[in-house]
């Protein structure tokens, strides 16, 4: 009897724990699917840029695997190590910070998760978490978002070009970095069809600009982008990229096309000159081709009397 009761009890325990195990497995599968999707997107982006997944990508995949296996503490530690190692692209940095924040949250380290979310939102202000992940994730995330709402400005990087094809110009950069993590940066540009990007370092990160030379013959599009690095040479801010640069298109393709045309190329001047030539040609033709045969009036004029009377033959 006691043995039968024990069997029934163990069966009930198994039935109660089964939903939890299934739920954990479902969450793990969902996370694995999400991380694989993120990795696939990163690999596609690198393929479009002409690159192959590198060592950093392999190390990030390890973080993703640890996170998917619910090894949150190890995932967070490895993620921090990758950020400290440096050299991450902006896309990779955002990817790692996301994993670090979620791993801290999964390990019930709310303050660590909040700090990671603050950094993540500083580099990717539009990032959102899945509300289905629960309060362990959403609480530090909303706290981090509240931090940024209290700041005077939204972090980011603006890039504008004031360039003419005939004379060149400048590309201006405006960086908003409330956390003061930016240490250096470059602006890269090229006239489309004229070769590789030319990278110029920035003299100042507050409000800086770089000069652009005039367009070569036939160029009609300027492509440009900017990258700002932290002390570890991670790309913390970017505006455009080598595979998706910002562009400025000019109406005419030839260099110096935006200069005013010479006066003799003005359509009004050309039309007036043509009219004068036509009138002159008609006038000259009239005098050269007119009939020069004498008329009867010029051969036999009618005589008049000396007394001024009406015309009549004189006696």
Q: Which of 84, 119, 149 is the last residue of a domain?
A: 149
Q: Looking at the structure, tell me whether residues 37 and 86 fall in a common domain.
A: yes
Please write the tens of the pLDDT for every residue from 169-224.
Answer: 999 999 999 999 999 999 999 998 778 899 999 877 876 889 999 998 888 899 99
Distance CA 177, CA 122 (A): 8
Range of the domain at 107: 24-149
185 inside domain: yes
Please write the tens of the pLDDT for every residue from 91-127.
Answer: 999 999 999 999 999 999 999 999 999 999 999 999 9
Q: Looking at the structure, tell me whether residues 63 and 163 fall in a common domain.
A: no
Contact 89/242 with Cβ under 8 angstroms?
no
284 inside domain: no
Could you tell me the CATH number of the domain that includes residue 200?
Answer: 2.60.40.10
Residues counted in the chain: 315
Q: Looking at the structure, tell me whether residues 33 and 111 fall in a common domain.
A: yes
Q: Looking at the structure, tell me whether residues 59 and 82 fall in a common domain.
A: yes
Q: Looking at the structure, tell me whether residues 29 and 133 fall in a common domain.
A: yes
Q: Looking at the structure, tell me whether residues 182 and 203 fall in a common domain.
A: yes
Predicted confidence band of residue 8 (pLDDT cuts 50, 70, 90) = very low
Residue 293 has a pLDDT of 56
* Average pLDDT rounded to a whole number, residues 87-92: 95
Q: Which of 92, 123, 149 is the last residue of a domain?
A: 149
pTM of the model: 0.64
**Count of structural domains within the chain:** 2
Q: Looking at the structure, tell me whether residues 57 and 145 fall in a common domain.
A: yes
Which residue is associated with the tokens 């990795």?
A: 39
Please write the tens of the pLDDT for every residue from 298-311.
Answer: 445 555 455 555 55
Q: Looking at the structure, tell me whether residues 33 and 121 fall in a common domain.
A: yes
Using the predicted structure, report yes or no on whether residue 165 has a pLDDT greater than 70: yes
- Write out the E strands in the chain: 156-164, 168-176, 184-191, 198-201, 207-212, 221-229, 235-239, 246-249
Contact 227/185 with Cβ under 8 angstroms?
yes
Using the predicted structure, report yes or no on whether residue 152 has a pLDDT greater than 50: yes
Could you tell me the CATH number of the domain that includes residue 34?
Answer: 1.25.40
Distance CA 231, CA 270 (A): 63
Distance CA 220, CA 164 (A): 10
Q: Looking at the structure, tell me whether residues 87 and 178 fall in a common domain.
A: no
Average pLDDT, the chain: 77
138 inside domain: yes
Distance CA 107, CA 281 (A): 97
Which of 71-80, 85-94, 145-154, 298-307 is the least confident region? 298-307
16 inside domain: no
Please write the tens of the pLDDT for every residue from 170-181.
Answer: 999 999 999 999
Q: Looking at the structure, tell me whether residues 142 and 170 fall in a common domain.
A: no
164, β-bridge pairs: 168
Predicted confidence band of residue 138 (pLDDT cuts 50, 70, 90) = very high
Q: Which of 218, 249, 280 is the last residue of a domain?
A: 249
């Amino acid at each position: 009897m006691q043995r039968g009761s024990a069997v029934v009890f163990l069966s009930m325990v198994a039935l109660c724990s089964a939903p939890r195990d299934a739920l954990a497995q479902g969450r793990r599968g969902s996370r694995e699917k999400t991380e694989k999707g993120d990795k696939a997107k990163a690999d596609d982006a690198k393929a479009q840029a002409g690159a192959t997944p590198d060592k950093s990508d392999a190390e990030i995949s390890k973080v993703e695997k640890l996170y998917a296996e619910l090894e949150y503490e190890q995932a967070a530690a490895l993620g921090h190590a990758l950020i400290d190692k440096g050299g991450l692209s902006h896309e990779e940095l955002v990817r790692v910070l996301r994993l670090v924040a979620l791993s801290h949250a999964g390990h019930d380290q709310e303050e660590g998760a909040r700090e990671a979310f603050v950094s993540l939102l500083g580099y990717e202000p539009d990032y959102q978490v899945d509300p289905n992940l629960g309060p362990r994730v959403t609480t530090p995330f909303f706290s981090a978002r509240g931090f940024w709402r209290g700041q005077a400005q939204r972090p980011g990087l603006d890039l504008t070009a004031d360039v003419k094809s005939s004379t060149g110009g400048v590309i201006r950069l405006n960086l908003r970095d409330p956390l003061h993590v930016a240490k250096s940066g470059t602006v890269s540009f090229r006239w489309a069809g004229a070769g590789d990007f030319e990278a110029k370092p920035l003299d100042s990160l507050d409000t800086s600009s770089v000069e652009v030379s005039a367009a070569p013959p036939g160029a009609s599009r300027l492509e440009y982008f900017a990258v700002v690095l932290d002390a570890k040479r991670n790309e913390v801010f970017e505006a455009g990229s080598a595979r998706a640069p910002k562009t400025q298109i000019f109406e005419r393709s030839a260099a110096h096309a935006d200069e005013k045309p010479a006066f003799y190329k003005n359509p009004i001047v050309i039309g007036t000159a043509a009219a004068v030539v036509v009138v002159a040609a008609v006038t000259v033709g009239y005098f050269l081709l007119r009939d020069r045969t004498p008329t009867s009036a010029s051969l036999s004029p009618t005589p008049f009397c000396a007394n001024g009377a009406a015309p009549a033959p004189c006696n």
